[in-house]
Amino acid sequence: MEITTHSTQETKEFANKIAKGISLGMIIALYGDLGSGKTTFTRFLVEALGEKGRVQSPTFVIARKYGHINHVDLYRLSTEQEVEDLGFKDMVEDKESITIVEWPDLAEKLLPKDTLRIYFEYIDESSRRIKL
Ligand SMILES: Nc1ncnc2c1ncn2[C@@H]1O[C@H](COP(=O)(O)OP(=O)(O)OP(=O)(O)O)[C@@H](O)[C@H]1O
Ligand SMILES: [Mg+2]
């Protein structure tokens, strides 16, 4: 499916819909350029799933935890080894948590087959195309 959201509010409504299909143990991989809306979507998804704490770009921390949700951003990593050192394998194998990963390319081999992949694209200042 594909949708174009014309505001962050519309992205929030989209995240609310996606949240209904999310269950423990799922891995969600978010693809797309800088500023395409991955973290914004994550923030709304974490809210919709009922976890507290404002989602921030994990830029310097790489991984953060909000309740049972792991939010990982691999942008600053450069090798698959670094992804492993982060404990990524344990995260994706943990059936009691949900893992959301931005810039998932380096983790591709560790992503399970049933990973929910969502693609973000910048259209203009307030619009984003989202495909899954
Ligand atoms: N329709 C929209 N949906 C989502 N975000 C939007 C939309 N319109 C404008 N924005 C803005 O676009 C920006 C998206 O930034 P965000 O940090 O979510 O991107 P990102 O994909 O996580 O980037 P990065 O790769 O740097 O982590 C935010 O400032 C947000 O307010
Ligand atoms: Mg981000």
Taking only the tens place, the pLDDT of each residue in 72-82 is 999 999 999 99
Instruction: Retrieve residue 12's tokens.
Output: 């929030």
> Domains in the chain, ordered, with CATH?
2-123 (3.40.50.300)
Instruction: Please tell me the distance between residue 29's alpha carbon and the centre of ligand 2 in angstroms.
Output: 12
Mean pLDDT of the chain: 95
Is 128's pLDDT higher than 70? Answer: yes
The packing angle between helices 8-19 and 38-48, to 10°, is 50
Sequence letter at residue 106: L
Whole-prediction pTM value?
Answer: 0.96
Residue 57 confidence (pLDDT): 81
15-62 pLDDT per residue, tens: 999 999 999 999 999 999 999 999 999 999 999 998 887 888 866 779
Find out whether the beta carbon of 128 lies less than 6 Å from any atom of ligand 1. Answer: yes
Name the token pair of 41: 């979507």
Closest CA to 89 of 64, 75, 102, 72: 72
Helices H / strands E in the chain, number of each: 4, 7
Q: Is 87 in the pocket of ligand 1 (CB under 6 A)?
A: no
- Whose tokens are 């209904």? That residue is 20
Beta-bridged to residue 100, according to DSSP, are 28, 71
Confidence of residue 2 (pLDDT cuts 50, 70, 90): very high
Ligand 1 pocket residue status of 37, Cβ below 6 Å:
yes
